[in-house]
Structure 1
């Protein structure tokens, strides 16, 4: 079914997507965690062709406001994947997730678009969870951020010949994330370019053991988080591009705080085992740096992305 008959006229959806932190130390390109910080998006079908985007908050005046906007491209990609014609769109975005700091802002934008498409196509095309993950991964390139943004909680993501797959796990209630956000940004492409083509066999084994331990620590035994967040695959190679991040992570870990680079950085994720440890970590950073770092005391998001349709507006 196409939209030549005007079946989308009057449709409007509201999407809410959490920020995410990927890798979590040793789980490079595999593990991701959804955080309770959200971008919200409203998409309405309009009579005029093309797309018009209004942005409030993070990225206002910076991100494109036409068809080149990443959210619009994600909507268009999803419509095309299911053989549907894209209508004219009016998007209103309220952005809170910091851009370029390792908190999954691009993944959230992509997931916002995929979920908006799902809502707009309700009753015409049904998109299941693996379909959502596949469409988002096609745009993002890897599923470690888009999986937790879509499904919430702690996710393990992997790719098969049939497409990306995921497993969602519920995080132990004692796990208390703290994200430390600097003023400067980091390009994910630059961070990835610093990775070597291969790593020593011993380092690969080290990360297999730590990533396995990390799953146990996050879902059952938070007291193991310091040992479980050790990594030899990516953080040391990227340290030269974000020296202040690396210095603070070393200082935090030396005092017993499970600190790692959040995603591609330069933000720092501290996976504390209780709220008191989280406040002590924030105090340490405030005392050890002269540059501004914003402390985000966040819960784990367990719900993931949501979409609300407004059927009363459908003709």
Structure 2
């Protein structure tokens, strides 16, 4: 993973150092430009005093320390220790490469830790897909050698599941008798401790051999409600905090009351709520024997839908024409 990425960077730099600088400047970072002088050294598994980052790019007065992650950036202290890899460089950059860019709140925590440590390290938060997009944007169409290199790298990333398909992925979930409940309050809930192994943009509500509703996730919230004090505590897991409106909060709380009164569910604490603008009715029939016992993921582009044209209404209408097993 890191070796292939460093090799990609190296090939582009040795092909044209000015183009390499343009490529780096297109990646998300805290500054608009990156001063690059002449020669750059590419290193793998360089050791620091307290940690071993995945790789590094260095030159006189300039250094980028690279850390690649597959499953997020949970250990902030470990990330900050990578700054020990720097010495007396004038320009210092910590590059985090992931399947997704990290959440802004988490990014703020990293920056705060960098400031607490008294370092002047700049943060570059990017994704493998960003690297591919930026690389393609700086090379010429007629440059067949560079085009083949980035094609090979993209094939590798796809094979290693390093490129997210969440924008076209729907997670179908069995909801049983709560279907109307989900439609009314425009949400789906599950214990916050229950993990899901793939990020996804859409939710499908399944019951009685059909996915009957589809919605686009705009906010994910962990919420607790204390009935005695009527206190509502929440944490936005994904999405913009501004989307947690009074209407959304009321829907969450009412779903808690309704869940207890109608179904006997105790969801006042420790639950995660997936919020959608609305669920659109559909009829996506399961034609194989048996029901859906757990979550199932659907790549919507497998059903005649184009990623760039996806919207909830279009998905709901198209799936009415399809079946699945």
What is the TM-score when the length of structure 2 is the normalising length?
Answer: 0.28
What is the TM-score when the length of structure 1 is the normalising length?
Answer: 0.29
